[in-house]
Structure 1
Amino acid sequence: MKLTLVRHTSLQIAEGICYGQSDVDVSINFATELSQVRQKLMHEKIDAVYASPLQRCSKLAHALGFDGILHDERLKELHFGDWEMQSWNDIPRELFDVWAQNYAEMAPPNGETFAALQQRGVQFLEEVSARHAGQHVLVVTHGGMIRALIAHTINMQLKGLFRFHVDYASLTRLDFSSSIPNIEFVNR
């Protein structure tokens, strides 16, 4: 199975806001970014499409014109709990610093850990791999989920997740068609 992960387009939210699972809408640049994603996918044969149910992903998946889009709760971004919709600058620095040192195993207050996010992503991946063996699956999701699936694919510790950036409206392709999964590309 080939898995093409599409990060949602840019958002209608002020810079520096922690939004996680908050259902933030797409920005005024949606039409332009949609056109860019369409161009990138123009020659791809897609067998199945999944999306996070949050509107920033669902809108993109539907606007791409695919039929039979399946929404899956497990594809949501990290739940930042009490930090959702707060300015990163308003989160007490001592709390943020402790979390930042161990975000894999420590959750923001009333939120979830990156390990939990990755676990739900891997569960999704295993089910989709079994259901779509030998096919090309498109997934419209979030930066955190894309990072977590990349880390899983290459057996990377979650601590290194933020050493690479996942751009808005970018494509990342993971290939599970051989015994050793690989990353074909990131941020195309």
Structure 2
Amino acid sequence: MKAFTLTLLRHGDIAARGRLIGRTELPLTRQGERQMTSSWQRIAAIPVQSIACSPKLRCRPFAVEQSLERGVPLKVDPRFAECDFGDWEGEPTDQLAAEHPDWYNEMVAGRLTPPGGESFAAFRARVLAGFADWIAESRGSHRVLVTHGGVISVLLADLLGTSFAVARLMTVQRGGFAQLSLLEGHPAYLVRLELPDA
């Protein structure tokens, strides 16, 4: 496999400030659309040959539009959806923290699973399986994945050989992106971490 560039583009702003959003379907706000368009202009400075995305409304329509405009293959894969937070879905995060102190770290450590939701181990396993399949079947020197914050953190941790906690410190803001250089058999290199335009 030749070296290629991988861009992990996080969906833009959604009307969900302070709430836990995983499986919930929410469209991008106008600001979110502007963020994605602006980031794509920077991303596409390196011609894109392959796109994959989450099927969620905040990811898929933008990816479909870019795929059609450029004649680039698109894979829509449910394995790139955000974690399913079950009964916690839509909850204010400050309320969740009051009821379950350190809930996020407890979930990542495998000591807590959202009621009716997905364990972190299951979430991580499906994301990595989806990514491995897409990379094996896709072609080109620049591949773009349009997805969610949790998915990006899982992939950064795996590709950079670090812990999820460290990967989360490299937070990709909504509408921003991370870009890596990959070559099979070698460590991945993080070459760009970009904020969205306001």
The answer, yes or no, to whether TM exceeds 0.5 is yes
Q: 1:82 aligns with which of 80, 83, 87?
A: 87
Cα deviation code 1:129-148 (max 9, x no counterpart):
22236632111000110011
Report if aligned partners of 2:36, 2:176 keep a CA contact under 8 Å in 1. no
**Displacement after TM superposition at 1:28 (Å):** 2.1
Output the amino acid matched with 1:58: R
- CA deviation vs aligned residue, 1:30-89 (integer Å, no higher than 9, x gap): 442233123212322211111100010012213333444221001001111111011123
Between the two proteins, what is the percent identity of the paired residues?
Answer: 25
Q: Which among 91, 106, 120 is matched to residue 102 of structure 1? A: 106
Letter in 1 for 2:77: D
Partner Cα distance (2:140, 2:55) in 1: 25
CA contact (8 A) 2:50 2:140 kept: no
CA contact (8 A) 2:8 2:144 kept: yes
Tell me, yes or no, if structure 1 residue 42 matches structure 2 residue 31: no
CA offset at residue 161 of structure 1?
4.2
Match of 1:17 among 16, 19, 35: 19
Query: TM-score, length-normalised on structure 2?
Result: 0.83
Q: Which 5+ residue runs of structure 2 have no aligned equivalent?
A: none
How many matched pairs? Answer: 186
| Contact in 2 for aligned 1:9/1:60 (Cα 8 Å) | no
Question: Alignment RMSD, CA only?
Answer: 2.1
- Tell me the SS of whatever aligns to 1:185: strand
Provide the TM-score with structure 1 as the length reference.
0.87
Moved more, 125-134 or 2-11: 125-134
